[in-house]
Amino acid sequence: MRPRLATPLLIALLALATPVPGSATTARDTAAYPGGPQRGWLVIVGGNLHDPAIVRRFIDLAGGPDAPLVMIPTASEGDHFDLSYPGLQKFRDAGATNLTVLHTRDRAVANSDSFVAPLRHARGVWFFGGRQWRLADAYLGTKTEAAIDSVLARGGVVGGSSAGATIQGSFLVRGDTRTNTIMMGDHQKGFGLLPGVAIDQHVLVRNREFDLIPVIEKHPKLLGIGLDENTAIVVHGSRFQVIGQSYVAIYDPTHRLDSGGRFYFLRAGDRYDLTTRTAYRPIEVERPLGRVEEEGWRSDAAGGG
Query: Does residue 238 come out as left (phi exceeding 0), alpha (psi in the -120 to 50 range) or beta?
Result: alpha
Question: Does residue 165 lie within any of the structural domains?
Answer: yes
Task: For residues 298 and 132, give the distance between their C-alpha atoms in angstroms, rounded to a whole number.
Answer: 36
Return the pLDDT at 260: 85
**Residue type present at position 120:** R
Residue 173 lies in a domain: yes
Asked if the structure places residue 193 within a domain, the reply is: yes
Residue 100 has what pLDDT?
Answer: 98
Residue 166: strand, helix, or coil: helix
**pTM of the full predicted structure?**
0.85
Nearest alpha carbon to residue 271 among 242, 251, 294: 242
CATH of the domain at 186: 3.40.50.880
Strand bridging mode 223-227 / 124-127:
unpaired
Instruction: Establish if 2 belongs to a structural domain.
Output: no
Are residues 250 and 266 in contact, defined by beta-carbon separation less than 8 angstroms?
A: yes
**Residue 220 belongs to a domain:** yes
Residue 301 pLDDT: 53
CB atoms within 10 A of CB 295: 11
* CA 211 – CA 182 distance, rounded (Å): 9
Res 286: pLDDT: 61
With b for 16 or more beta-carbon neighbours within 10 A and e for fewer, the 117-127 pattern comes to ebbeebbbbbb
List per-residue pLDDT tens for the chain, 305 residues long.
Answer: 333 333 333 333 333 333 332 233 333 333 345 689 999 999 999 999 999 999 999 999 999 999 999 999 999 999 999 999 999 999 999 999 999 999 999 999 999 999 999 999 999 999 999 999 999 999 999 999 999 999 999 999 999 999 999 999 999 999 999 999 999 999 999 999 999 999 999 999 999 999 999 999 999 999 999 999 999 999 999 999 999 999 999 999 988 788 889 999 999 999 999 999 999 998 866 655 544 444 455 665 554 33
In a domain, 305, yes or no: no
Residues 40 and 152 sit within 8 Å (Cβ to Cβ): yes
Give the span between the Cα atoms of 263 and 149, in whole angstroms.
Answer: 30
Q: Say what the pLDDT of residue 297 is.
A: 57
Distance, in Å, from the CA atom of 166 to the CA atom of 80, rounded to the nearest integer, reads 23
Number of domains in the chain: 1
Other C-beta atoms lying within 10 Å of the C-beta of residue 75? 24
Q: Give the total residue count for the chain.
A: 305
- Sheet hosting strand 239-244, strand order edge to edge: 99-101, 69-72, 124-127, 157-161, 41-45, 231-236, 239-244, 271-273, 278-286, 292-298
CA separation for the pair 204, 272 (Å, rounded): 20
**Strand duo 292-298 + 278-286: pairing:** antiparallel
Domain that holds residue 22: 8-298
**In-domain check, residue 1:** no
Instruction: Give residue 8's pLDDT.
Output: 35
202: amino acid identity, one letter:
H
